[in-house]
Chain A
Amino acid sequence: MRAAPAALALLAALVGAAGAGAAEMRAPPGASSCTGCHARGAAMGALAGRPEAEIVAALAAFRTGARPATLMNRIAKGFDAAESRAIAIWFASQGAR
């Protein structure tokens, strides 16, 4: 029982300092894999800091085949429009790195 006040204090600290903020900052599903290739200096180009609309449009064009690709056509098909938009918003919100 001795633990309870300390535990509650920590919980409050987590929620206040990191909890809510970190939850909002979590990358949407799939986004963390993108930076395996799309990093600064890569031939594939970085995504961080790119406009949301540009990323949404690129993923949609890869999905339909309208934009030629070596393999992004295969990867883009793993994400629907809403999922793609969440990824685009996430990268647009990141400063260029």
Chain B
Amino acid sequence: MPRAPSAPTRRAVLGGAAAAALARPALGGAPPRVVVVGAGFGGATAARCLAAGGVDTALVEAAPRYVACPGSNEVVAGLRGIEAQTFGYDALGRAGFRLVRATADAVDPAARRVRLGDGTELPYDRLILSPGIDLRFDALPGYDARAAEAMPHAWKAGEQTVLLARQLAAMPEGGTVVLSVPANPYRCPPGPYERASLIAHFLKTRKPRAKLILLDAKDTFSKQKLFEAAWARLYKDVLEVVPLAAGGQVSEVDPAGMVVRTDFAEVKADVACIIPPQRAGRIAAQAGCADRSGWCPIDPATFESRLVPGIHVVGDAAIAGAMPKSAFSANAQAKVCAQAVIDLLAGREPENPRLINTCWSLVAPGDGISIAGVFRPTDGLLADVPGAGGISPLDAPDAVRAQEAAYGESWYRTITRDVFG
């Protein structure tokens, strides 16, 4: 929680939207400043929208380039290279805001400053955090950062993705792959099941007699009927699914022995992809924005933190109710959040927003399925608009499946161009 304000002017800033716009001149007449932390789909979008709205904006990002997660399961399965996922930040440096290539070490919500890795401090009137996820290396016995070198999570795209792809390519024929999926919530709800599908496709076409065991800490999941229908049709000799009710929750891993344990069984793996539990990126918790769940409760209209006034949280780190943790969501949330920030700085009431999410998954190359949703603030959370949204039809003809795959790829190309290009 923020510390008590120390001066009347600061109290005015903390006091609310109109006050923020009014108090600023007393501090020297400078226009309001917004700092955005994290140049992924959420943060880079927010910074672009703020700059387009004429707001003095700084975007803080330490990574030299961005490696996108959507589509990265295709890299895992050898269907495309990691370069298709990789985007430089040069264009963001020319997008009308200041791109600060540094780590955001700490936020001081009372002083409204972000401290960077080199000790520099960036003052802000409003702060938008889009830090994505941190993998919890304290949640699954045996699974820490070092274990991830033997048993990749590949849940943050980059070296881990390439590592998992290499391990699969090098696996002996007749080998066993284990894929472990955590309980909710986590980044990209349908992602593990797309990964299972594409790894199964890889094994079926490239590794005769190999099998994939999916160990799941849940019994229900996103697009379940569509995935299960595809698995029965395409991969019944390759893929074994063990849900929670059948003992699928992984209780321990042994990376040295390549053993994955549940309460009921022990599996010796040739390749093990362990997707561990997750939480909001570190800076969100440091700033006081994460609750005991590790994620960040927000106002569903403005994405302002429920815990720390003046800080907004978008993307995977936020608790966005029915809206899933996806790149599409992060992009949509960032646009709404940026407009709300512009409105609040100008002393205007933000509008009651409506947001859309769409996620495509491949069950095989060229064979796509989707889930869509329309969301609005309801009882303090983002809730589905009744009657809208849902998954692709179970009986869609091949041509529609091919079109969904093509639309998913088209979305990826345009969103990455608009955000990073």
Contacts and interface: CB of A to CB of B under 8 A. Distances in A.
A19 B348 contact: yes
Contacts of B392: 70-71
B356 interface: yes
Contacts of A71: 358, 370, 372, 392, 404, 407
B388 interface: yes
Contacts of B328: 36
A40 B21 CA distance: 35
B374 A44 contact: no
A8 to B, nearest CB: 8
B390 A74 contact: yes
Interface in B258-300: none
Nearest to B388: A78
A77 to B, nearest CB: 4
A53 interface: no
Interface string A1-24: 011001101110010001100110
B21 A79 contact: no
Contacts of A75: 356, 358, 372, 374, 388-389
Contact of B414 (A22, A27, A33, A41): A41
Interface string B321-365: 000000010011001100100110011100111111110000000
Contacts of A7: 22-23, 25-26
Contacts of B357: 33
A11 to B, nearest CB: 6
A30 B336 CA distance: 9
A32 to B, nearest CB: 4
B25 A23 contact: no
A14 B31 CA distance: 10
Interface residues of A, number: 37
Interface string A25-49: 0110110111111011111100000
Contacts of B26: 2-3, 6-7
A54 interface: no
B7 to A, nearest CB: 12
A36 B415 contact: yes
Interface string A63-88: 00000001100111111000100000
B231 to A, nearest CB: 21
B54 A33 contact: no
Contact of B353 (A9, A29, A39): A29
B257 interface: no
B385 interface: yes
B87 interface: no
Contacts of B374: 30, 75, 77-79
Contacts of B353: 29-30
A37 B332 CA distance: 11
B385 A78 contact: yes
B358 A3 contact: no
B412 to A, nearest CB: 10
Contact of B354 (A3, A33, A42, A70): A33
A96 B389 CA distance: 28
Interface in B385-415: 385, 387-390, 392, 400, 403-404, 406-407, 410-411, 413-415
Q: Which 9 A-B pairs have the closest CB atoms?
A: A78-B374, A78-B388, A3-B26, A33-B356, A30-B354, A6-B25, A43-B410, A29-B354, A32-B335
22 contacts: A7-B23, A10-B24, A11-B22, A18-B346, A22-B348, A26-B343, A29-B354, A32-B339, A36-B332, A36-B411, A39-B418, A42-B413, A44-B410, A70-B370, A71-B392, A71-B407, A76-B388, A77-B374, A78-B374, A78-B385, A78-B388, A79-B354
Given A14-B346, A18-B346, 12 more contacts: A7-B23, A10-B25, A11-B21, A26-B343, A30-B356, A33-B356, A36-B332, A41-B414, A71-B407, A75-B372, A78-B373, A78-B387
